[in-house]
Chains A and B, each alone.
Chain A
Amino acid sequence: MLKQGLRLSIGPFVIHFEGRDRTLAERLHAHYPNYPLAPRGAFADAQLKVTRNPTVSRHWWSTRAIRTEDGQVFTTFPSEATLAHIEWTMNWAIANRSHDFLMLHAGVLANRHGALILPAYPGAGKSTLCAYLIHRGWRLLSDEFTLIRDESLAIHPFPRLIPLKNQSIEVIRELVPEAHLGPPIPGTLKGTVSHLRPGDEHIRSMHETALPKLMIFPKYQAGASLEITPAAKSDCFVEITQNSFNYVLRGEQGFRMAAALTDRVTPYRLVYSDLPAAAQAIDELMEAAAAA
Chain B
Amino acid sequence: MVSHQWGEAHFIYHQESGQTHFVNQSCIDILTLVTGKSLSTQEIYERLLVRHGIDEDPELKEAIEGVTALLEQLGVLSSLP
Contacts of B18 on A, CB cut-off 8 Å? Answer: 248, 251
Interchain CA distance A252-B2 in the complex, whole Å: 8
The answer to whether A77 has its CB under 8 Å from any CB of chain B is no
* A233 interface contact, C-beta 8 A: yes
Task: Return the chain A residue nearest B6 by Cβ.
Answer: A233
Contact A255–B20 (Cβ < 8 Å): yes
Q: How many residues of chain B get a CB closer than 8 Å to chain A's CBs?
A: 11
Among B7-15, B29-37, B61-69, which stretch is in contact with chain A?
A: B7-15
* 8 Å CB contact of B9 from A232, A248, A252: A232
* Smallest beta-carbon distance A250→chain B, Å: 10
Given known contacts A252-B13, A259-B11, is B6 in contact with A232 (CB within 8 Å)? yes
Taking the complex as formed, is B4 at the interface, i.e. its CB lies under 8 A from any CB of chain A?
yes
For B13, what are the chain A residues with a Cβ–Cβ distance below 8 Å?
252, 255-256
Q: Quick check: A259 and B4 within 8 Å, CB to CB?
A: yes
B7 lies within 8 A of A256 (CB):
no
Interface size class, chain A: 10 to 19
Contact B7 A234 (CB under 8 A): yes
CB-contacts of A237-289 with B (<8 A): 237-238, 241, 248, 251-252, 255-256, 259, 262
- Within the assembled complex, what's the spacing in Å between the Cα atoms of A233 and B20? 16
Task: Check A233/B2 contact, CB under 8 A, given A241-B20, A252-B15, A255-B20.
Answer: no
Bound complex: CA A237 to CA B10 (Å):
11
Which one, B2, B6, B22, contacts A256 given CB within 8 A? B2
Residues of B within 8 A of A233 (CB): 6-7, 9
- Determine the distance from Cα of A232 to Cα of B9 in the docked complex, in whole angstroms: 10
Question: What is the bound-complex CA distance between A252 and B12, given in angstroms?
Answer: 10
Residue on B with the closest CB to A260?
A: B4
Chain A residues near B15 (CB, 8 Å)? 252
Are the CB atoms of A234 and B9 closer together than 8 Å?
yes
Which chain A positions have C-beta within 8 A of B6? 232-234, 237, 262
| Chain A minimum-CB-distance residue to B8 | A234
Q: Mark A210-244, 1 if CB is under 8 A from B, else 0.
A: 00000000000000000000001110011001000
What separation, in Å, do the CA atoms of A251 and B13 have in the docked complex?
Answer: 9
Contact residues in A for B22 (Cβ distance below 8 Å): 234, 238
Residues of A within 8 A of B20 (CB): 241, 255
Q: Which residues does chain B contribute within 8 Å of A248, judged by CB atoms?
A: 18
Q: Chain B contacts of A256 at CB under 8 A?
A: 2, 13
A residues less than 8 Å from B2 (CB atoms): 252, 255-256
Q: A238-B22, A255-B11 are in contact. List 17 more A-B contacts (CB 8 A).
A: A232-B6, A232-B7, A232-B9, A233-B6, A234-B6, A234-B22, A237-B6, A237-B11, A241-B20, A248-B18, A252-B2, A252-B13, A255-B4, A255-B13, A256-B2, A259-B4, A259-B11
Of the A-B pairs whose beta carbons lie under 8 Å apart in the complex, a sample of 16, sorted by A's number, is A232-B6, A232-B9, A233-B6, A233-B9, A234-B7, A234-B9, A234-B11, A237-B6, A237-B11, A241-B20, A248-B18, A255-B13, A255-B20, A256-B13, A259-B4, A259-B11
A interface residues, Cβ below 8 angstroms from B: 232-234, 237-238, 241, 248, 251-252, 255-256, 259, 262
